[in-house]
Amino acid sequence: MISQEISLSKELKALDITSSAFENQTFIPIKYTCDGENINPPLSIKNIPFEAKSLVLIIDDPDAPIRAWVHWIVWNIPLSKEIKENSSPGIEGFNDFRNQNYGGPCPPSGVHRYFFKVYVLDELLDLKPASTKTELEKAMNPHIIAFGELVGLYKRSE
């Protein structure tokens, strides 16, 4: 589910995104949510193209009541096959909690989907750390060469 703000005029290479903490379309462990330690889960990234220069990670919840809720944006992540648990892998921008860090799943009600989207860029971005998802997407749009995502689910206990 690539954001509407991102134009995909060219064919992108597919990344394989997985986590040792949960499988695609399954529930995210409490440890990685607002009900637990609220730390980012580990991610594994496969099929990074040779011409890659950096990675971008966007985590959002399209099931939020008003609009997609941004949980974490990170750019200029050095090329790596993994993003470690409880890490700060690159430059962090503002999420919708008004913080510059990971904000775990914390839905107000029901089951929500959380999209862990990884983009591969052909350059590093010159963005201020206080940037937003919209500013990040505008800057990275012409430089995306590969994309992959992992979807996790979460529902708070009643």
Q: Is the pLDDT assigned to residue 5 strictly greater than 90? A: no
Band of the pLDDT at 59, cuts 50, 70, 90? very high
In the chain, % of residues over pLDDT 90: 90
CATH homologous superfamily, domain 17-154 = PEBP-like (3.90.280.10)
**pLDDT given for residue 42 in this prediction:** 98
**pLDDT given for residue 76 in this prediction:** 98
Band of the pLDDT at 15, cuts 50, 70, 90? very high
- Phi/psi for 33 (5° steps) reads -120, 180
Cα dihedral 92, 28, 150, 47 sign: positive
pLDDT per position as a tens digit, 67-99: 999 999 999 999 999 999 999 999 999 999 999
Region 117-128: mean pLDDT is 97
Q: Is the pLDDT assigned to residue 23 strictly greater than 80? A: yes
Comparing 116 with 11, which gets the higher pLDDT? 116
pLDDT per position as a tens digit, 31-41: 999 999 999 99
Residues in the chain, overall count: 158
* Mean pLDDT for all residues in the chain: 94
Look at phi and psi of residue 38 and say left if phi exceeds 0, alpha if psi is from -120 to 50, else beta: left
Q: Where are the domains of the chain?
A: 17-154
The answer to pTM > 0.95 is: no
